Structure 1
């Protein structure tokens, strides 16, 4: 039985119970360690290889589609065959499955075995009581998790990922003709943003930087398309994909250059693809069954609960065999001794722990949902409270997401309309990552007529290494030009001359220094600067790449204003008051970052640049991340490395970001925070998503996480100390009393009533001082607390034994019912009072009052405890009425117990503090 409890609890902690079905896909976290061909059938591999090697017309015909996409009728037909584009692991469980999982805990299994034993021995009353305990624990958990799941489903629907899909809007036969005139087809098709789950095989989708690949697809076109597919292959570097047919010798589907897979994400570039398979028929879906069968690595939260629970299990492994041996040897009835030992095991088992944890976390999720915060999995709430370092991106997180063009200047700092015109053409024709800067440029609608004079030829998409992007256009006369915009330093690297009023000048060292000084002066004003350059292109050239970004003529700058959020400064101040450091990690330059940080209240600045980080080993970086609070000019790899170093230094790290360059850091952090306007890959990587623009919700979330943790810890401390004290008393009584100090059924009833009262703990108040510092699991503290406060109750239990034996004459087997009734009431009422004593470091009832649900449940338990031996139900539980003088003794014991506990609590706080 104990072996079942020990192994079952560990497995239980590793199960998906704690996740409550709204966490990121574990497949994406585990696939890197899974063989790339694991779990997929030979037929699936052949289908993917055939699709990769098929000629485009034949492939599109086999999928009943065309380059112009599907119409509504075709979509319905495809969905009837393929279903919705979702993986079975993401689907919510049925009510019956959920009920079974709520029941299938080691605690409930232990109680069920005990109920069966009681039924087989003819003890119907014990069977009923134990069955009630199982029903209560299972029912409460089922109800709480059901509410949490329902709330989570509604919230997550608000931030579902979407895909750009080409769909035809007219369904007549003419529209379906592949030889229809291009003008006719373009009038009948439209690019739509649709939820990913609505995709079907045959859909034509557009991919751009920041997109999650929504299904397994074959590329039709690709331009500098790089994908991060480490989840599939374990490769740390992005892989370039092409539209051309792969080498016939290639057989591994993941290595085929023109296939992209669900769950990977686009790092840079753009492409057009046709959907091959969706949902469970995809490569990722095929792996879901194998990967979901694996044990998911426990999170920091789960590991904390696991360690604390092992403390309780170790005590149980010692105490229960002792109870069995002592009672078996002294009483001679080994069957009754076994039942009593099992009852003691139940008494030491925190049956309500799963429900309390779920209820407290769900309450936190509901609180945050009212603040427009989506919690993707419940564990994140406790991590929120444990966070002591918040790393945040700058743009779109500390600043508003309404960037505007403040100035358009030539290289000398004078207003220049041609610079804005070139930037407008660049932003309009690019199909890659549309940043807020592009949105700001395109807001100048008065320049829209420019596009009528030009046609797009090609583009070189943005990436985070070059930090620039280019488009190539041609005018009506056939003259072409490449237009490049990007970070000033990167544009200067590929420029050889500069546009001046008198003509084009060679870009010598003096001019470079002057141009950099102009840009730095704008940065110092808090403006973000982007450089624009151009040059003519040969008439016959139609394909362009990174190598063509050379010999450019620098035309000037765009200066963008990106004001900080009004809530940023007070939010960071509030976090600092609650023990959370803020560190800014950005790809922007140091001058702009320093200005924005000063505006949000970060006045003491230690700045480190990405180039400096490149030169540091891990040992040096581990020291630097503690000293610096601003990191600028960072690549995505830099951000991830900084977060990893902070975690290695023992911090619980949160990361807030909204861009594709933040995804790696979001996944690495203990808690990833993003916003609903973030790119798909950032939202997928995040644990928490903010729907509100205000950052004050961060501090509120931290406090709610700490409140949640404090209430969970209350239950564990209360239960551990109280139950340990009771079992310690049982050991003493069993050694000296010729009968059982309490019958197994009575012990179970007492445990049932006490556990019922604990259902109110998630709604209790938390003292303000417990919210000022990060809270973490400390198993050693729980064990010390149990050993320190448990024996206090044993002092009064032993006093009760003596009084019942000497004063009330309950000293023979014939009068054992009176002895058992007396201890039953004392034990239940002291357990109820310990709730109020241990829930706060202050003086209970005077300096700190429990929430009304906790107070009400205490009164209910007291009433039940007194009624059971005195009322009509007493014979059913083998209890007897207690004499009037007993209640004088009871009041004295309770007051003395509270007074001694308060005195010892003050001594404990002085020596060990109070978590």
Structure 2
């Protein structure tokens, strides 16, 4: 009396009147929760994009510094001559334009958005775009049973009736011990009432003028529903609930109790959920009537879906609140494996941190779980380096859906589950998840191909332009560089609509591999551009046939080889889509027109060419034969780069470079966290009246067993 009950204090039983001293946001735990909510997690995908952007920015600064140092040795001015790109400010501007990938967030976000629209057509609503990338890398799927793996359509099979009792009376008592609120009937109460249709005599009993005095709904402490009813001057207390709870009410002999328990176990072995039924007349002892056997059949497509998910490298773990025997029987039906453990092993099994984690990794499922158990399973898998998805439909699934890397609310899920989830399925069952995984992996391949392409482009122009600035004091005009960057980004927005293949195993960002391949491709592109520039030093102009412009020839070669690089990095397992081909050909045609008519070439003032035996027109035009030669040369460069790209992807050590350890173990950390989880802050008043907070071992929870 008079003590403070703190937020998150657990209450086992009873009622109390209390005065609220403060509201949640201003309580100690509330302030902690607000800190957690305030610490916005940038997400896995955003972290990857930030790391790539930061690395490219550092590279740009390095190349700008190199270009300026070269410029100082050549006595270049900072901003003059103003009509030329050969000055230090233009050098910096040009390198910033090519080195900062302004199109990277646009293309990746567009790709994710188009993928989300496609998933929406398949009845999967994406609430967070980055969830698509997470789903592509998921390697463990935890799933609730009821309503997800099963149809959530309970049916009562043949009941067990205790010796000397009438089945009709038992069904009538079960119906009386059901909710009377028809608008929000519990599924168990609903199926109980509907089953009365099969028992006409039970309906006659219920039509004898019963009056309900008091109704006590199900609660997890008593584990039963109780209704006090009157009929013909007698008071009947009807009860329906967990078999153990109902058996504890009655005072039956040991033989009846043993038979009752055996029937309960038999029903569980067959995958049935049991409900005990008993009644008390006036003040007489409770009478045990029998057991209702309820069956929630697996969905027709669940077993096939689980097999397909396993083939995609995503094993499924079932988390259910049902009894162990029911969980094992369901796992057998669904070919999930029978390594199913009781949830008590997670907390009260006497296991250390590392052993607990091993158990969770090894298990096919857990039975008799509460929301905190589901949350704990997801957390342990994440601590081991697994990208974890969680599916569920109830309020009790919301914490684990929020915790998972990709939370999925299935069809018919509660509002709480939908709010906590990243993806919401509108189609029943889990069948949509296989399609969602395949689609998300296709989207991932598009983004990965584009990012390799974009890094290679930055490397290409940075290497060529800086070496050109230092060696021959020449660059490509800033105006043309702007169009090169525009062409590269505009054309590749169509990557969002490209055809892509789906990997058979979970995908991940192998940044070291991506960088190595992209740098190699960028260096090859830079060498190809230098070959073109070097050929123009030949007395006959090399690739120049009649007349041309150094600026426009370089512009066309860079634009063509860069645009066609996307056909290499996207991979060769599928043909490119007509949208991507159309976009690339469109900008190629525009680049060719630029070259033919000498747009923005700046005349010959920006070109340094000691060989004056071939003609450079003042208007910057390039003859058609030279344009054809450049096209043929660019095609040859692309073929060589495609061969190199193919060979790089065949190197075994490179293929595994950067892959995350999905079974990472850190016994010290895991054991420390396990030890801390067994401690709690204890609040007490000392003899001197001073409040004290001490760290103490948590009290073991009372067992609900007999």
Q: Which TM-score tier does this pair reach, normalised by the shorter chain?
A: 0.7 to 0.9
| Residue matched to 2:106 | 355
Equivalent runs, 1:326-337 vs 2, <5 Å: 326-330=70-74, 332-335=76-79, 336-337=87-88
Q: Is 1:407–1:415's contact at 8 Å kept on the other side of the alignment?
A: no
Aligned partner of residue 443 in structure 1, secondary structure: helix
Q: Hey, what's the Cα distance between the residues in 2 that align with 1:881 and 1:479?
A: 108
Number of positions where the alignment pairs a residue of Structure 1 with one of Structure 2: 618
Structure 1 runs (4+) deviating above 4 angstroms are: 236-244, 290-295, 412-415, 430-434, 445-449, 476-479, 536-539, 807-810, 874-879
Aligned to 1:658: 393
> Does the 8 Å CA contact 2:63/2:462 hold for their aligned counterparts?
yes
TM-score by length of 2: 0.80
Tell me the residue number matched to 2:307.
573
Rg (Cα) greater in structure: 2
Out of 113, 120, 134, the position equivalent to 1:369 is 120
Deviations 1:852-875 (A, max 9, x none): 111111111211111102137456
Distance in 1 (CA, whole Å) between partners of 2:603 and 2:428 is 59
Uncovered stretches (5+) of structure 2, i.e. residues with no partner = 1-5, 80-86, 605-618, 660-706
Question: Who is 2:650 aligned against?
Answer: 910
CA 1:304/1:577 → structure 2, altered by over 3 Å: closer, same or farther?
A: same
Pick closer, same or farther for the CA change 1:703–1:553 going to 2, 3 Å. same
- CA RMSD after TM alignment: 3.5
User: CA–CA distance in 2 between the matches of 1:689 and 1:634?
Assistant: 23
Tell me if structure 1 keeps the 8 A contact 2:161–2:291.
Answer: yes
Secondary structure at 2:390's aligned position in 1?
strand
Partner of 2:278: 533
User: Which residue number in structure 2 is paired with residue 495 of structure 1?
Assistant: 249
1:599 is matched with 333
Q: What corresponds to 1:138 in structure 2? A: none
Question: For residues 549 and 583 of structure 2, what CA distance do their matches in structure 1 show?
Answer: 26
- Segments of structure 1 that go 5 or more residues without pairing to the other structure are 1-232, 258-263, 265-282, 498-504, 540-550, 811-815
Aligned-partner SS, 1:535: strand
Q: Which secondary structure does the structure 2 equivalent of 1:566 belong to?
A: coil
Counterpart CA distance in 2 for 1:690 and 1:303 is 27
User: How far 1:483 moved relative to its partner?
Assistant: 3.2
Check the 8 A contact 2:64/2:91 in 1, yes or no: no
Does structure 1 residue 854 correspond to structure 2 residue 580? yes
CA contact (8 A) 2:302 2:430 kept: yes
Q: Does 1:863 align with 2:608?
A: no
Q: Distance in 2 between matches of 1:780 and 1:711?
A: 18
> Does 2:241 correspond to 1:486?
yes
Q: Distance in 2 between matches of 1:448 and 1:310?
A: 74
CA contact (8 A) 2:479 2:600 kept: no
* SS of residue in 1 equivalent to 2:389: strand
Structure 2 residue aligned with 1:718:
453
**Structure 1 pair 515–240 and aligned structure 2 pair: CA distance change class (3 A):** closer
Report deviation, 1:839: 0.8
How far did 1:722 drift?
1.7
1:891 Cα deviation from its structure 2 partner: 3.9
Which residue in the other structure is 1:301 paired with?
45
Alpha-carbon shift at residue 390 of structure 1 (Å): 0.8
Alignment of structure 1 residues 464-475 onto 2, 5 Å: 465-466=220-221, 468-475=223-230
Aligned to 2:147: 396
Task: Tell me how far 1:897 sits from its aligned partner.
Answer: 1.5
- 1:462 aligned to 2:218? yes
Match of 1:320 among 64, 67, 71: 64
In 2 relative to 1, CA 253–341 (structure 1 residues): closer, same or farther, beyond 3 Å?
A: same
| 1:400, distance to aligned residue in structure 2 (A) | 0.8
**Structure 2 partner of 1:405:** 156
Match of 1:901 among 618, 641, 645: 641
Q: Does 1:786 align with 2:542?
A: no
SS at match of 1:850: coil
Q: How far off is 1:243 after superposition?
A: 9.1
Q: What SS class does the counterpart of residue 418 from structure 1 fall into?
A: helix
Instruction: Give 1:251 deviation, angstroms.
Output: 3.1
Matches within 5 A, 1:485-884: 485-492=240-247, 494-497=248-251, 505-506=252-253, 508=254, 510-536=255-281, 553-602=287-336, 604-614=337-347, 615=349, 616-739=351-474, 741-767=475-501, 770-807=502-539, 818-840=549-571, 842=572, 848-871=574-597, 873-874=599-600, 880-884=620-624
Displacement of 1:596: 2.2
Give the secondary structure class of the aligned counterpart of 2:291: strand
- Equivalent residues of 1:587, 1:635 under 8 A apart: yes
Instruction: Kindly provide the CA deviation profile for residues 869-911 of structure 1, in whole angstroms up to 9, marking residues without a partner as x.
Output: 2137456898722245533542453243223213322331122
User: What is the CA–CA distance in structure 2 between the aligned matches of 1:414 and 1:653, rounded to whole Å?
Assistant: 50
Query: Residue deviations 1:606-652, cap 9 Å, x none?
Result: 12111222313332111011211021122222111111111111111
Change (3 A) 1:877 1:747: farther
Q: Secondary structure at the match of 1:369?
A: helix
Looking at structure 1, the residues matched to 324 and 103 of structure 2 have their Cα atoms a distance apart, in angstroms, of: 52
Give the distance between the partners of 1:877 and 1:586, measured in 2 at CA.
Answer: 75
CA distance in 2, matches of 1:236, 1:877: 80
Aligned residues of 1:331 and 1:738 also touching (Cα < 8 A): no
User: Aligned to 2:93, which of 316, 330, 342?
Assistant: 342
Q: Deviations over 1:62-102 (max 9, x none)?
A: xxxxxxxxxxxxxxxxxxxxxxxxxxxxxxxxxxxxxxxxx
Deviations along 1:328-353, one digit per CA (max 9) or x if unpaired, are: 54361222322331232221222122
Q: CA separation in 1, counterparts of 2:533 and 2:211?
A: 96
Counterparts of 2:64 and 2:12 in 1: how far apart (Å)? Answer: 58
Matches within 5 A, 1:129-208: none
- Offset from partner CA, 1:270-296 (integer Å, 9 cap, x none): xxxxxxxxxxxxx99xx99x9999562
8 Å CA contact 1:408–1:419 kept in 2: the answer is no
Distance in 2 (alpha carbons) for counterparts of 1:700 and 1:899? 34
In structure 1, distance between residues paired with 2:9 and 2:424: 26
Name the CA shift for 1:666/1:330 in 2 (closer, same or farther; >3 Å): same
SS in 2 for 1:407: coil
